[in-house]
Amino acid sequence: MLLHEDRLFPADTAVRGIARALYASVRTLPIVSPHGHTQAGWFARNEHFPNPAMLFVQPDHYVYRMLYSQGVSMDALEIGQPEMKNPRAVWRLFAQHYHLFRGTPTRMWLDYAFQELFGLEERLSERNADRYYDRIAELLQTDAFRPRALFERFGIEVLATTDSPLDSLADHAAIRASGWSGRILPTFRPDPVVDPEFDGFAARIHALGEQTGEDTQQWRGYLAALRQARERFRALGCTATDHGHPTAQTADLDESQAAALYAEILRGSADAAQQELFRAQMLTEMARMSLEDGLVMQIHPGSVRNHNRQVYARFGRDTGADIPHPTNYVDALRPLLDRVGNEPGLTIILFTLDESAYSRELAPLAGHYPCLRLGPPWWFHDSPEGMLRFREQVTETAGFYNTVGFNDDTRAFLSIPARHDVARRMDCSFLARLVAEHRLDMDEAFDLARELTCGLVRQAYRL
């Protein structure tokens, strides 16, 4: 067996017994995945996944980031290629370096998929790479491993993708028209048309105007186009927006100031400070729109995107060269909170890559403002240790009910059940310790285990 049944549970036998009982009560509950980066097209077309390398290696920056750090070239892994020329060679390279993932959450996610989905219980290595490849490739060509069948096998209740305002959402419409019962929802990610640093920003703004019939060369027309785009998303079940800004900075300019700034942005004459001010203003504008249309707002700040310029130039955005950066929330969010922070009908979910902000800023903010909730440990911190640090540092001030459960935030479809399993085990372990220390009664722990698994995420994302 690759995985021990007591993995991640406390070493103390008494506490472990409590954790086991709590986990047993939530182990088979549905997976609610309100934020991720899987492709709606997989489920619209329901075609077989092409090969093991394209499923496990190519889309997963956790995998190829580690390999690249040890000198494995991105070219050798065929990263960014629409079709792999030699997927078996990529797989062998992955297997040869599998030891690099020892002790990482990536290793646990991969082992879970290998064991639970493909029945492979011997550790992956260079020696058994071809046997692994052949077994996975064979099963991928069966109907049981088509995307919709896996969705149902995983027990997924709802799965949200992340989509540009310029996306036609044709795949989402096709899923609905097909009559399939699986619930795949779009998420409105406006970064390409609100971040002036995006390549071709002016052309994207023009495309937004063409799509909506609004005059996006004017500030009011631009806002009207965004409102119209949001409504198009809502018509296909969207319940949330997502904003991946470099910082959490917000602003509250008056209309004339905002219009003048927008004109500078469109002319391409804005400097870095003006670009940041524009992004800051757009977070407040998005919050106002959420107050109008009810979409939950997620803010994912603090990543220095495309830090490795050579990798970015060769392979483009989202190729694993993003680095966390310290993030301010107390001062940065104040303009937005002054405007809408006391609105109980608005939900803004804050994420962070800066763990130093948990107890100092985020927990006190979420523990006061009615509109704020705390997202789970994200990206570099969606690990057993990261989840434990989060619970230890935010619970004392924000409690459990100002958090929103777990989301997997992944492009790697087959890792979804593994990631949720890790989160359930860690939450049950944390609750077990509170019970053992007589800080929580057992019936409360059972209630909280269910809330942290399904209840809070359904409520926060209005699902």
Q: The CATH number of the domain where 166 resides is what?
A: 3.20.20.140
The answer on pLDDT for 305 being more than 90 is no
Task: Render pLDDT for 184-226 as a digit per residue (tens, 0 to 9).
Answer: 999 999 999 999 999 899 999 999 999 999 999 999 999 999 9
Percent of the chain past pLDDT 90, that is, above it, reads: 93
Q: pLDDT grade, residue 131 (50/70/90)?
A: very high
The answer on pLDDT for 174 being more than 70 is yes
Structure tokens at 59: 């889309």
| Exposure class string for 329-340: b at 16+ Cβ within 10 A, else e | beebbebbbebb
- 33 and 83 in a single domain? The answer is no
The CATH number of whichever domain residue 76 belongs to comes to 1.10.2020.10
The answer on pLDDT for 73 being more than 90 is yes
- By the 10 Å C-beta count (0-12 exposed, 13-18 middle, 19+ buried), 149 is classed as middle
Give the per-residue pLDDT at 313.
81
Cα 285 to Cα 290: distance, rounded to the nearest angstrom: 9
Asked if 389 and 362 count as a contact pair (C-beta separation under 8 A), the reply is: no
Q: In what order do the strands lie in the sheet with 240-243?
A: 240-243, 296-299, 348-350, 372-374
Domain membership of residue 72 (yes or no) is yes
- Mean pLDDT of the region 426-433: 98
What total of structural domains would you count in the chain?
2
Domain membership of residue 264 (yes or no) is yes
Structure tokens at 275: 């670009």
Tell me if residue 163 falls in helix, strand or coil: strand
Q: pLDDT grade, residue 246 (50/70/90)?
A: very high
Q: Which residue has the higher pLDDT, 63 or 319?
A: 63
Domain membership of residue 353 (yes or no) is yes
Going from the C-alpha of 218 to that of each of 195, 251, 263, 270, the distances in angstroms are 17, 19, 8, 16
Going from the C-alpha of 383 to that of each of 95, 246, 300, the distances in angstroms are 22, 23, 17
Domain membership of residue 388 (yes or no) is yes
- 229 and 85 in a single domain? The answer is no
Tell me which of 127, 145, 163 is where a domain ends: 145
User: How many residues comprise the chain?
Assistant: 463
Q: Which residue has the higher pLDDT, 309 or 231?
A: 231
Domain membership of residue 1 (yes or no) is no
Asked if 349 and 389 count as a contact pair (C-beta separation under 8 A), the reply is: no
Cα 34 to Cα 351: distance, rounded to the nearest angstrom: 14
- 409 and 334 in a single domain? The answer is yes
Tell me which of 96, 113, 145 is where a domain ends: 145
Give the per-residue pLDDT at 330.
98
Q: Which residues pair with 374 in a beta bridge?
A: 350, 403
Give the per-residue pLDDT at 59.
84
**What is the span of the domain harbouring residue 64?**
48-145
Domain membership of residue 304 (yes or no) is yes
Tokens 């997963």 locate to 60
Report the predicted TM-score, pTM, of the whole model to 2 decimal places.
0.96
- 125 and 270 in a single domain? The answer is no
Give the per-residue pLDDT at 28.
98
Domain membership of residue 5 (yes or no) is no
- 218 and 261 in a single domain? The answer is yes
- By the 10 Å C-beta count (0-12 exposed, 13-18 middle, 19+ buried), 428 is classed as buried
Q: pLDDT grade, residue 308 (50/70/90)?
A: confident
- 90 and 207 in a single domain? The answer is no
H-type helices in 179-271, by residue range?
191-194, 201-212, 219-234, 255-267
- 26 and 154 in a single domain? The answer is yes
- Mean pLDDT of the region 321-325: 89
The answer on pLDDT for 94 being more than 90 is yes
Q: What letter would DSSP give residue 143?
A: G
At 388, which amino acid appears? L
- Mean pLDDT of the region 377-389: 95
Give the per-residue pLDDT at 318.
72
Task: Render pLDDT for 346-365 as a digit per residue (tens, 0 to 9).
Answer: 999 999 999 999 999 999 99
- 254 and 280 in a single domain? The answer is yes
| Exposure class string for 268-305: b at 16+ Cβ within 10 A, else e | eebeeeebbbbbbbbbbbbbebbbeeebbbbbbbbbeb
Asked if 365 and 350 count as a contact pair (C-beta separation under 8 A), the reply is: yes
Domain membership of residue 398 (yes or no) is yes
Mean pLDDT score across all residues of the chain: 96
Tell me which of 116, 145, 174 is where a domain ends: 145
- 89 and 237 in a single domain? The answer is no
The answer on pLDDT for 453 being more than 80 is yes
The answer on pLDDT for 447 being more than 80 is yes
Give the per-residue pLDDT at 393.
98
Asked if 107 and 422 count as a contact pair (C-beta separation under 8 A), the reply is: no
Task: Render pLDDT for 328-352 as a digit per residue (tens, 0 to 9).
Answer: 999 999 999 999 999 999 999 999 9
Cα 449 to Cα 463: distance, rounded to the nearest angstrom: 19
- 192 and 57 in a single domain? The answer is no
- 113 and 168 in a single domain? The answer is no
Question: CA 168, 171, 177: angle at the middle one, nearest 5?
Answer: 115
Torsion of CA 146, 152, 157, 162, to 10 degrees: -10
- 418 and 453 in a single domain? The answer is yes
Give the per-residue pLDDT at 320.
65
